[in-house]
Amino acid sequence: MSSEEDSMTNTTETPSQDTPAPGAISDFGIDTTSMSTGEAMRDYWARVRGGELGSLPALLGLVVLLIVFSSLSDTFFTLGNLANLLQQGASITIIAMGLVFVLLLGEIDLSAGTASGVTASVMALHLIHNGNLLGGMGNTVFYVFCGLLVLAIVLASLMRIWAGAVLSLIAFLIAVLGVPANAWLEMLLAVCVGAAIGSITGFLVAKVGIPSFVVTLALFLVWGGVVLQLIGQGGTLGLRDDTIFNVANGNLNTAGSWLLCVIAVGGYAAVVLTRHFTRLRKGLVAQPTSLVLAKIGGLALLAAVATFALTQNRAPTDLIVIEGVPYVVPIVLVLLVIGTFVLDRTSYGRHIYAVGGNTEAARRAGINVEQIRMSVFVIASSAAAIGAIVYSSKVGSVDPNAGGGNTLLLSVGAAVIGGTSLFGGKGRLRDAVIGGAVLAIIQNGMGLLKQPAAVVFIVTGLVLLLAASVDALSRRRAAVAAR
Amino acid sequence: MSEPILELRGINKSFGPVHVLHDIDLTVNPGEVTALVGDNGAGKSTLVKCIAGIHPSDSGEVLFEGEPVHIKGPRDAAALGIEVVYQDLALADNLDIVQNMFLGRERTKGGLLDETDMEQAARKTLASLSVRTVKSVRTQVASLSGGQRQTVAIAKAVLWNSKVVLLDEPTAALGVAQTRQVLDLVRRLAEQGLGVVLISHNMNDVFEVADRIACLYLGRMAAVVGSKDVTHGQVVELITAGRSGDLGIARPEAATI
Is the Cβ–Cβ distance between B126 and B181 less than 8 Å? no
| CA nearest neighbour of B143 among A347, A363, A49, A285 | A49
Question: Who's near A47: CB < 8 A, 6+ residues apart?
Answer: none
Of all helices (H) and strands (E), which one includes residue A398? strand A397-398
Q: How distant, in Å, are the alpha carbons of B19, B23, B179, B242 from that of B43?
A: 10, 12, 24, 13
Give me the amino acid identity at A134. Answer: L
Q: What is the DSSP string of chain B?
A: -PPPSEEEEEEEEEETTEEEEEEEEEEE-TT-EEEEEE-TTSSHHHHHHHHHTSS--SEEEEEETTEEE---SHHHHHHHTEEEE-SS----TTSBHHHHHTTTS--EETTEE-HHHHHHHHHHHHHHTT----S-TTSBGGGS-HHHHHHHHHHHHHHTT-SEEEEESTTTT--HHHHHHHHHHHHHHHHTT-EEEEE-S-HHHHHHH-SEEEEEETTEEEEEEETTTS-HHHHHHHHHHSEETTEESPPTTT---
Q: What is the DSSP string of A88-128?
A: HHHHHHHHHHHHHHHHHTT---TTHHHHHHHHHHHHHHHHH
CA dihedral A155, A220, A379, A206 (to 10 degrees): 50
| Distance from the first to the final alpha carbon of chain A | 67
* CA atoms of A309 and A262, how far apart (whole Å): 15
Strand B195-199 relative to strand B164-168: parallel, antiparallel, unpaired? parallel
pLDDT (0 to 100) of residue A418: 87
Distance, CA of A66 to chain centre:
22
pLDDT (0 to 100) of residue A94: 96
Q: What is the mean pLDDT of chain B?
A: 85
Q: What is the pLDDT along chain A (483 residues), one digit of tens a residue?
A: 344 444 443 333 333 333 333 333 334 444 555 567 777 777 777 777 766 777 788 888 889 999 999 999 888 888 888 888 999 899 999 999 999 999 999 999 999 999 999 999 999 999 999 888 888 888 999 999 999 999 999 999 999 999 999 999 999 999 999 888 899 999 999 999 999 999 999 999 999 999 999 999 999 999 999 999 999 877 888 888 899 999 999 999 999 999 999 999 999 999 999 989 988 888 887 888 888 999 999 999 999 999 999 998 888 888 888 889 999 999 999 999 999 999 999 999 999 999 999 998 888 888 899 999 999 999 999 999 999 999 999 999 998 888 888 888 899 999 988 888 888 888 899 989 999 999 999 989 998 998 898 998 898 889 888 888 887 887 777 666 554
| CA nearest neighbour of B119 among A424, A367, A281, A427 | A281
Is the Cβ–Cβ distance between A372 and A352 less than 8 Å? yes
pLDDT tens digits for range B150-189: 888 888 888 877 889 999 888 887 778 878 888 888 898 8
Of all helices (H) and strands (E), which one includes residue A397? strand A397-398
Please list the residues that pair with B164 across neighbouring strands: B82, B195
Question: Who's near A197: CB < 8 A, 6+ residues apart?
Answer: A111, A115, A118, A119, A152, A219, A223, A381
Q: What is the DSSP string of A28-78?
A: -TT--S---HHHHHHHHHHHHHTT--TTHHHHHHHHHHHHHHHHH-TTTTS
pLDDT tens digits for range B190-227: 988 889 999 988 888 899 999 999 998 888 888 888 88
Statement: the pTM of the whole predicted model exceeds 0.90: no
Q: How distant, in Å, are the alpha carbons of A320, A409, A474 from that of A109?
A: 42, 10, 24
pLDDT (0 to 100) of residue A7: 40
Strand B82-85 relative to strand B164-168: parallel, antiparallel, unpaired? parallel
pLDDT (0 to 100) of residue A29: 43
HSE at residue A103, side-chain half, CA atoms within 13 A, is: 26
Pairwise CB contact (< 8 Å): B75 & A366 = yes
Is the Cβ–Cβ distance between A224 and A117 less than 8 Å? yes
Question: Who's near B159: CB < 8 A, 6+ residues apart?
Answer: B101, B102, B121, B122, B125
Q: How distant, in Å, are the alpha carbons of A361, A365, A444, A479, B149 from that of B145?
A: 18, 22, 47, 12, 6
* CA atoms of B165 and B189, how far apart (whole Å): 9
pLDDT (0 to 100) of residue A283: 80
pLDDT (0 to 100) of residue A326: 93
Question: Who's near A314: CB < 8 A, 6+ residues apart?
Answer: A78, A79, A80, A83, A322, A323
B79 at the A interface (CB within 8 A)? no
Is the Cβ–Cβ distance between A104 and A349 less than 8 Å? no
Q: Which of B91, B100, B104 is closest, CB to CB, to A367?
A: B104
Higher pLDDT: B1 or A288? It is A288
Q: Which residues of A touch B75 (CB under 8 A)?
A: 366
Q: How distant, in Å, are the alpha carbons of A254, A413, B103, B106, B164 from that of A426?
A: 38, 15, 17, 20, 34
Q: Strand, coil or helix: what is A219?
A: helix
Of all helices (H) and strands (E), which one includes residue A470? helix A453-482
* CA atoms of B139 and A158, how far apart (whole Å): 38
* CA atoms of A34 and A36, how far apart (whole Å): 7
Residues 129-148 of B with CB under 8 A from A: 132, 135-138, 140, 142-144
Please list the residues that pair with B64 across neighbouring strands: B6, B67
Q: What is the DSSP string of A288-300?
A: -HHHHHHHHHHHH
Q: Which residues of B touch A346 (CB under 8 A)?
A: 108, 111-113
- Number of A–B residue contacts, CB under 8 Å: 102
Q: Which residues of B touch A351 (CB under 8 A)?
A: 104
* CA atoms of B252 and B228, how far apart (whole Å): 27
Q: Which residues of B touch A23 (CB under 8 A)?
A: 120
pLDDT (0 to 100) of residue A192: 96
* pLDDT band at residue B251 using 50, 70 and 90 as cut-offs: low
Phi, psi for A443 (deg, rounded to 5): -60, -45
Pairwise CB contact (< 8 Å): A345 & B103 = no
Q: Which residues of A touch B120 (CB under 8 A)?
A: 23, 25, 282, 284
Residues 254-313 of A with CB under 8 A from B: 275, 278-279, 282, 284-285
Q: Which of B86, B111, B116 is closest, CB to CB, to A282?
A: B116
Q: How distant, in Å, are the alpha carbons of A16, A39, A105, A157, A410 from that of A464?
A: 56, 34, 20, 38, 9
Is the Cβ–Cβ distance between A393 and A246 less than 8 Å? yes
Q: Which residues of B touch A354 (CB under 8 A)?
A: 92, 95, 99, 103-104
Choose, out of B94, B119, B140, the residue to mutate when testing the contact with A (most A CBs < 10 Å): B94
H helix and E strand count, chain A: 20, 2
| CA nearest neighbour of B186 among B214, B215, B157, B145 | B157
Q: How many CB atoms lie within 10 A of CB B87?
A: 16
Question: A104-138 b/e with 16+ CB inside 10 Å = b?
Answer: bbbbbbbbbbbbbbbbbbbbbbbbbbebbbbebbe
* CA atoms of A459 and A454, how far apart (whole Å): 9
pLDDT (0 to 100) of residue A480: 61
Pairwise CB contact (< 8 Å): A478 & B108 = no
Q: Which of A285, A360, A366 is closest, CB to CB, to B104?
A: A366
pLDDT (0 to 100) of residue B32: 92
ipTM field: 0.82
| CA nearest neighbour of B249 among B229, B220, B228, B227 | B220
Question: A206-218 b/e with 16+ CB inside 10 Å = b?
Answer: beeeeebeebbee
